[in-house]
Amino acid sequence: MTRLRMAIAGAVAACMLVGYAAAQEAFTPHPAEAVLRGAALGDGLLYVSAHDTNEVLKIDLSTGDVAARATVQEGPTSVALSADGKVLACVNRVANSVSLIHTDSMETYATVSETQGASDITALPGGGFAVANSFGDSVTLIDASSPDKSITLTGVSSVPSGVAASETYLGVATRNPSALLLYSGGAQTPGAIVSVPEGASTVYALSGDRFVVGSKGHVSLIDAKAAKVVDDVTLSVYDMAVDGKKVYVMTDGAVAVFDDTLAPQQKMSVSVEGRIVAARDGVVVVLAPKNRQWLTSGVAAVVKVAAAPAPAETAAPAAAPAAAPAETPEPAEKPAPAAEGNKGAIAPATEKKAEEKPAEAPVKAEDAKPAEEPVKVAEAAPAPAPVEEPKKAEEKAAAPASSESKSAAPKERKSRITPQPAPEQPQEQGKSFSRKPSPSQLDQGSQGKTFGQAVTDGINLGTSAGGFEPPDWTQPWKDIQAGKVDAIDNGTKIVADGDVRLTLDTVQFAADHLFYDKLTGELHVYGNVEVVQGQSSAYADDIRYVIPVNKKLEVPPPLAPAGEDTEQGLARKMLSLGSLDAQNIEINEPTRQLKADHIVYDFTTNSGVATGVEGHAGQVRFGGEKLTILSQDAMEGENLWLTTCDCDHEYYKVRLKKASFGKNDEITGTGANLQIGSVRTPIYWPRWSFSGGDAPTVGFDFDSGRKAQLGYYVNVGQQFAVTTDLKLGLRLMPTEKQGIGVGIDGSYDYMETPASPLYRGKGEFHTLYTTKDRGYTEWYHRQELTPDTVLLLQLEQWYDRDFYKDFFYERYKDRSDPRTFANVTYTQPTYIATATVRPRTNGFTTETERLPEGSFHVLEREIADRLYLTFDTIDGYNNREPYDENAFRSINVARLSYDLELVDHLNVTPFLELEGSWYSKTRDDGGSDSRFTSTAGVTLQTRFQKNYPGRWGFSEFKHLIVPSMTYSYSPESTMSIEETPKFDAYDRVFGRSRLESKIDNIILGRDAETQESWQVARLSVYQGTDFWNEISRSSDYEMELEIRPRPWWGFMAVGESHTVNDDIDFKLDEPFVVQRTVIQLYERLTDRRANPEAVDRYNASYGDYERVLAYFYYDDRPFSGRFNGRVGFAYTQTQDEVFNREVLYGAGYKLNEKWSLGFEHVFDLEKGDLSRQKYEVRRVMQCVEGAFQFNERESGWDVGVELSVTAFPGTRLKF
């Protein structure tokens, strides 16, 4: 179902509230006396940690009351209940401890302090607990019976954030890198490491040694035995819980429910800012710390109703019967009443409304559940005359005139119910304020995206958070007020007139008239109808709702969903059926709005019609003559328009004659036309499409402007949906200097199409050819041959060396030369095998062809206690072009290492590496030859860390010092360097004796307000020195310094120096001594560079070089600031040639909400001139953002105007 259809569905749900229908059981809210941060469920009990009062509360779920409480140390967060339910463990985050509590007496009997920054805790199947220490990079194992004998697993690298235990594994989720570490019973080190999406925060165990891991935007299912991810779901995650074979995920505005294979089951909406979820035996609990509430589902609600005033002589409404859909004809029978409470339905409209009488004094009925027996009334009124049964949706929804052509002023809505104030919106999921600012001052939007991708990435269609939700149908009607309320026909009908008001659960309702017939399941309300729930409201002139009460709902036992096999469950399902008819309706939710002249909807078939539609969903406003809902996943529209302008007179609209909405946010339309103001432009697309998924696109991109090598140009392309899996399109690119380019673009995705021969494959292709014989062809394909085997195909063909640079410079400057290859990779937990074919298809490139090449890699495995082995073999035919250097080559490398811990925190790792290689031909064409060499050495490494209390806006600091030292020795190989062909780094093997040392100083900080952590400072120093080298002794020095005390500013510097020994002795036995001497003499005598390939092969590879990059950056715009800027220095020198010595600086300033300025300069100190300069003046209007840009680079000036839609960052139209 598309996001636009979700907005329509949200409106229909609001209408449905009038009929008091519920598709699922709602959460019951409870006030909390403190800020609750952790939850664990027992038998009918809930244990929660009160963060601000330093307590653990024991709550009786049957009453919602606190039964007992225990005092713990400062900052309690996560809690866990032991396997036998007798001990509760609570993590005290601030105090760096864990409290152990007897659940029967709620007395704290022990406190464990051997933790550092404990973040999560879990109960172990055999008893006891495991604690993940995020700042200590460790896991503490606690025996509940002997808490003073805790065990700590160190080296859990790094930043463990979650822990869980299955039958045979302990799983630890880490953030850096984002992975799940799997420990088998009694192991001190992980037996396997499974990578997961970035930001792993929580983990839970499932049956069969499986784990489910929650990350920033993913839920991953992991098979511990196979050590791999078997499934993944894209979803924002705050917390998770597991109950048997169900996985509950706390996400934005809801609890998403999956089975143990991550197949979606349902979505339980949450009206508050839920952040923690717990589940057990069908009971689900949500904690909302910010709202100071906790919510329950699956618990029999205890409704506490205040004593009502003495009732008037009118009677309370009668109970509505349980209803069933009209699918299977059955003899009429009197239905049994469902659970207590009113199930509203819509009554038929009278042919003529009764003449309105002066309003009488309001009469308030008693707050009570409707009686099942007919009740007597003081004054019975005649029943309204019945009307004909509602006709089909199509007949009812006669299309009115377009909503844009209406001349009458909109009807003024006067609310009789005040909606609740909108709560403060939570921080957008995935948005990190600690992210480092961009180094560019003119970085306005996404780089490397097409126009269509930028449009769809920028669209925010709002969420259902804060919108209408079905009420709890078991609750009674309360606070019924009206000028007159009558129960007639033995109490089977209710008539209310004159400012009718009532409350059901969280819904408040008001109207002028109400008629309800419980025998027919019909409800009719009309006259200033108003429905309010939370921050959402709905208005209508007339609403009719009909529930099919005369049919019995039957569900075959094999198909009966879990939880719906009871009579009460079937009754609940019944209330989600029926039909709705609403006139002149308006729905207002926090992020969505819908107005319609007429809506007809059948909940049994999920179909209906809406006419005269207008509204907005997030940033997108829309309207149209008619929307036809065909099913739950399909919808069609006629004469629609869309825009992102939020002003009274839209600057632009996109109009569609017809549009179809399908699964996965797919939209196809015909007759798309761009309208500017009130004028329809000639810009027209006969067919238009939108594709959802991970990389959404509207199938259209546009770019124009002026480039130095092209002159003025226009680049426009459009793709059409040939099928749901294949899209093809044409591209037209006329240029001033390079002729007219024509190309074909396409994309396909058969990952979910089993009938296709390309099943589990996807890819894309692009071509362009100009009238001046320039162009390119690209094709990228990925095919899953088996679950463990992946085929990658890539074809990149440029018709000349400079084509890509001239036409697509922004992409060219960040990419490598074109490559063509085919690769098959087979992956197993213990080894990886590959096969590659890589021909040289571009005659201007210098590369090594693989014709073909295979490799086999044995991953590190423990062959004895602390003794590890790896092995790699790379075999194939290689051809170095354009130098025609070729040979069949076999490289075989084995490495042994021994992990020895001499004392605490000091690791000594001796290693031995053996290599045996064979070449079918040497460089002097002397036939085949073999090479044997070895490397032996030892590495010493330790690690120091300490936590410090926070200051300067930080809550805490963590200081890490990681020094290491490595000595290695390699004798001369049996094959000389002069004879060895040069294909890649595997061939550069020479003897040397070398000492390397490195020390990392890292300071991590946690922001006291946002609780985000980042690297506040880092200093890394590296030094390597050759004592002896077969080629030439060298020394290396590297330094990296970064200081970032605040997210928006900092300083970074990187320096590198490689110095070759400058001994005067002339050694004739040195490799390439003659070639290197000739090259040096040539360059000095002619003052010109020699052949680049020769320089790299014989000279530069063994020469000096130095590099320096340093810059200061500042950007306070994400924090409501106005300024951003940077200043830096870059220097690179190889031997005696300086490649660049530049000063980089730039700044941007936001003058006000509409105007901003920016510039970037690169000053070349060698030439004494600006090598690059760029200026920009930007103006933000209501719906459009424009910029004047002037850009100079070495090839010339680019001058242009950029226009973009304000709501879609990165949508650039350049002229």
Please tell me which residue, 942 or 364, carries the higher pLDDT value. 942
State mean pLDDT over 977-983: 86
Burial class (CB in 10 A: 0-12, 13-18, 19+), 267: middle
pLDDT band at 621, cuts 50/70/90? Answer: confident
All residues at 6 or more sequence positions from 999 whose CB lies less than 8 Å from its CB, including other chains:
961, 962, 963, 964, 1020, 1021
Q: Where are the beta strands (DSSP E) in 118-201?
A: 118-123, 129-133, 138-142, 151-154, 160-165, 169-175, 178-184, 192-195
Whether residue 293 is predicted with pLDDT greater than 50 in this model: the reply is yes
In the prediction, which pLDDT does 372 show?
37
Give the CATH superfamily of 30-154: YVTN repeat-like/Quinoprotein amine dehydrogenase (2.130.10.10)
Q: What is the pLDDT of residue 1011?
A: 79
Pick the most confident of 228-242, 649-663, 1062-1076.
228-242
Return mean pLDDT, the chain: 77
pLDDT for res 627: 84
Average pLDDT over residues 604-628: 80
Mean pLDDT, residues 346-364 taken together: 37
Statement: residue 322 has pLDDT above 50? no
Are the C-beta atoms of 789 and 825 separated by less than 8 Å?
Answer: yes
Q: How confident is the model at residue 1087 (pLDDT cuts 50, 70, 90)?
A: low
Question: Averaged over 967-984, what is the pLDDT?
Answer: 90
Name the nearest CA neighbour of 155 among 136, 169, 142, 127: 136
Contacts of 434 (CB under 8 A, 6+ apart): 1007, 1010, 1012, 1013, 1014, 1047
Of 758 and 315, more confident: 758
Query: Residues 124, 130: contact at Cβ < 8 Å?
Result: yes
Q: Where are the domains positioned within the chain?
A: 30-154, 717-824+838-845, 1151-1215
Q: Which of 300-314, 1086-1100, 1108-1122 has the highest mean pLDDT?
A: 1108-1122
Query: Are 669 and 1180 spatial neighbours (Cβ–Cβ below 8 Å)?
Result: no
Q: Tell me the residue ranges of DSSP E strands in 261-327.
A: 264-269, 276-280, 283-288, 293-297
Q: What is the CA radius of gyration of the chain?
A: 36
pLDDT band at 112 (very low <50, low <70, confident <90, very high): very high
Specify the higher pLDDT residue, 474 or 270: 270
- Omega before 158 cis (within 30°)? yes
For the chain, the maximum distance between any two Cα atoms, rounded to a whole number of angstroms, is 123
Stronger pLDDT, 533 or 770, i.e. the higher one: 770
What pLDDT, in 10s, does the model give residues 1001-1040? Answer: 999 998 887 778 889 999 999 999 999 988 888 899 999 9
Cβ(477)–Cβ(371) below 8 Å: no
DSSP-assigned letters across all residues of 975-997: S-TTTS--SSGGG----EEEEEE
Task: Confirm if 1044 and 436 have CB atoms less than 8 A apart.
Answer: yes
How far from the centroid of its chain's Cα atoms is residue 338's Cα? 42
For 782-829, the pLDDT digits (tens) are: 999 999 999 999 999 999 999 988 888 777 777 888 999 999 999 999
Which stretches of 287-439 are DSSP H helices?
A: 393-396
Confidence of residue 117 (pLDDT cuts 50, 70, 90): confident
Q: What is the pLDDT of residue 544?
A: 85
Question: Nearest Cα to 19, choosing from 267, 320, 254?
Answer: 320
Residue 413 is predicted with a pLDDT of: 63
Contacts of 1142 (CB under 8 A, 6+ apart): 1129, 1130, 1131, 1162, 1163, 1164, 1165, 1171
Q: What's the rounded Cα separation, in Å, for the pair 97 and 111?
A: 7
For the chain, percent of residues with pLDDT exceeding 90 = 35
What's the rounded Cα separation, in Å, for the pair 928 and 919? 5
- Give the highest mean pLDDT range of 854-863, 1075-1084, 1096-1105: 854-863
Q: Is 1190 exposed, middle or buried (0-12, 13-18, 19+ CB in 10 A)?
A: middle
Dist CA 1138 CA 1131 (whole Å)? 8
Least confident of 326-340, 1023-1037, 1100-1114: 326-340
pLDDT at position 549, please? 59
Burial 150-183 (b: 16+ CB within 10 A, else e): beebebbbebbbbbbbbeebbbbbbbeebbbbbb
Between 73 and 397, residue with greater pLDDT: 73
Among 160, 32, 144, 153, which residue's Cα sits nearest to residue 99? 144
| Residue 308 binned pLDDT confidence (cut-offs 50, 70, 90) | very low
> b vs e for 184-199, b when ≥16 Cβ sit within 10 Å of the residue's Cβ?
eeeeeebebebebbeb
Per-residue burial over 863-893, b = 16 or more CB atoms within 10 Å of its CB, e = otherwise? eeeeebeebbbbebebbbbeeeebbebebeb
pLDDT of amino acid 468: 62
Task: Note the pLDDT tens digit of each residue in 1048-1063.
Answer: 899 999 999 988 875 5
Question: Pick the residue with more confidence: 736 or 1180?
Answer: 736
Q: What is the mean pLDDT of residues 39-54?
A: 93
pLDDT at 879: 93
Q: Model confidence over 411-420: pLDDT tens digits? A: 556 666 765 5
In three-state secondary structure terms, 434 is coil
Task: Compute the distance between CA of residue 137 and CA of residue 150 in angstroms, rounded to an integer.
Answer: 16
Half-sphere exposure of 852 (CA within 13 A, CB side): 10
pLDDT tens track for 540-597: 888 888 776 555 444 444 333 444 444 444 444 545 566 778 889 888 877 777 888 9
| Spatial contact of 599 and 610, defined as CB atoms under 8 Å apart | yes
Structure tokens at 148: 């003073």
pLDDT tens-digit readout, 1160-1173: 899 989 888 888 88
Query: CA 190, CA 1124: separation in Å to the nearest integer?
Result: 45
* Partners of 836 in beta bridges: 823, 853
Using a pLDDT cut of 70, give the percent of the chain over it.
71
Backbone φ, ψ for residue 385 (5° rounding): -65, 135
**Predicted local distance difference test score (pLDDT) of residue 810:** 72
Please give the pLDDT value at position 1183. 62
Range in 264-278, 308-322, 763-777, 793-807 with the lowest mean pLDDT: 308-322
313: its two tokens: 């002589």
Give the per-residue pLDDT at 419.
54
d(CA 376, CA 371): 11
- pLDDT-based confidence at residue 355 (cuts at 50, 70, 90): very low
Confidence band of 863 (pLDDT split at 50, 70, 90)? very high
What are the beta bridge partners of residue 423? none
CB 293 within 8 A of CB 29: yes
Tokens 């006329």 belong to 734
pLDDT over 50 (residue 160): yes
Q: What are phi and psi of 170, to 5 degrees?
A: -110, 120
Instruction: Please name the residues in contact with 511: beta carbons below 8 A apart, sequence gap of 6 or more.
Output: 500, 525, 526, 527, 528, 529, 530
Which conformational region is residue 1167 in: left (phi greater than 0), alpha (psi within -120 to 50 degrees), or beta? alpha
Coil, helix or strand for 1076? helix
**Nearest-angstrom CA–CA distance, 339 and 337:** 7
Placement of tokens 């600031």 in the chain: 1121
Alpha carbon 57 to its chain's center: 34
User: For 1176-1188, how does the pLDDT look when each residue is reduced to its tens digit (9 = 90+)?
Assistant: 888 776 666 677 7
How far is residue 345's CA from residue 18's CA, in Å, rounded to a whole number?
A: 8
Least Cα distance to 251 among 217, 206, 204 occurs for: 217
Q: CA 360, CA 364: separation in Å to the nearest integer?
A: 12
Residue 268: pLDDT band with limits 50, 70, 90? confident
CA distances to 80, 241, 290, 701 from 275, in Å = 17, 12, 9, 39
| 402 CB-side CA count, 13 A | 10
DSSP string covering 863-926: EETTEEEEEEEEEEEEEEETTTEEEEEEEEEEEEEE-EEEETTEEEEEEEEEEEEEESS-TT--
pLDDT at position 746 over 80: yes
Number of other CB atoms surrounding residue 846 within 10 Å: 13
334-355 average pLDDT score: 35
| 861/472: higher pLDDT | 861
What's the CA gap between 521 and 507, in Å, rounded? 20
